[in-house]
Amino acid sequence: MRSGTPVGRSLAVLAGTLALAGLATGCGIRTTTVPVNAGAAPSRVPCEVSEGNLTTQAQPGVAVRVYLVCASELAPVERAASIPAEKALGDRVQVAQALLDELAEEPSSPERDAGFESYVRGPLTVAGARAGDPLGTLRLNRQPEDLPTAALAQIVCTLIEGAATDGSVVLGGPGAYGARGYRCDDDTKRSPESALPTTGPLPSAS
């Protein structure tokens, strides 16, 4: 068949078009103009409650800061704890109990919308040191080591910041086990599921 005929010319044009398409494909050039839907961009939670939605503004009480979990990290949230003002600075056990109560509360709607959650579950109570405990020990009604790691991280970081400690908190449980000192550092806040750093041997208060 001669290329000078209409049919021949059509085949020649088609062959040339296919050859160009092959070259374009080999060079990584898209030959289609159909848009590709890559889906919506991944959403990010803010991990911050807007000032107008702070729980401290809606409820009476002493302003405190508690640590909740957001985006797999610990982040502080302002709350209003039910602590008598005259005891807010003097009664460590009562302050610690109020902080634990806040941690065990379900996050408010604004906090949930911001991505916050709490791994602390009640009832969780606290008492003072026993005879022979290190000075400042707080005894929980549950063994600290038996709590979920993230929950213990929330408790430790919250108590260190809000219960007038010196950068660590000494916690014990209801049994005969000795109390242990815990610290809250940047690694703890970044990865609350990891083991918490502890302090060295603690002297007895007696």
**Pick the residue with more confidence: 178 or 28?**
178
Residue 17 lies in a domain: no
Q: How far apart are the C-alpha atoms of 98 and 118, rounded to whole Å?
A: 15
**Pick the residue with more confidence: 100 or 10?**
100
Please determine, for residue 43, whether its predicted confidence score (pLDDT) is greater than 50. no
Q: How far apart are the C-alpha atoms of 206 and 203, rounded to whole Å?
A: 9
Please determine, for residue 160, whether its predicted confidence score (pLDDT) is greater than 80. yes
Residue 202 lies in a domain: no
Residue 2 lies in a domain: no
What would you measure as the largest C-alpha separation in the chain, in angstroms? 112
Q: 3-state DSSP: the chain helix, strand, coil percent, rounded to 5?
A: 35, 15, 50
pLDDT single digits (tens) 72-81: 999 999 998 8
Q: Give the pairing of strands 62-70 and 116-117.
A: antiparallel
Residue 86 lies in a domain: yes
Kindly state the tokens that stand for 135. 């000075």
Residue 57 lies in a domain: yes
Domains contained in the chain, number = 1
Domain that holds residue 162: 51-190
**Pick the residue with more confidence: 178 or 167?**
178
Residue 158 lies in a domain: yes
Strand order in the sheet with 126-127: 126-127, 138-140, 168-172, 180-183
Q: How far apart are the C-alpha atoms of 149 and 194, rounded to whole Å?
A: 7
- Where residue 166 falls among pLDDT bands split at 50, 70, 90? confident
Residue 5 lies in a domain: no
Residue 200 lies in a domain: no
pLDDT single digits (tens) 147-157: 999 999 999 99
Burial grade of 49 (CB within 10 A; 0-12, 13-18, 19 or more): buried
Please determine, for residue 127, whether its predicted confidence score (pLDDT) is greater than 80. yes
> Can you give the pTM of this predicted structure?
0.73
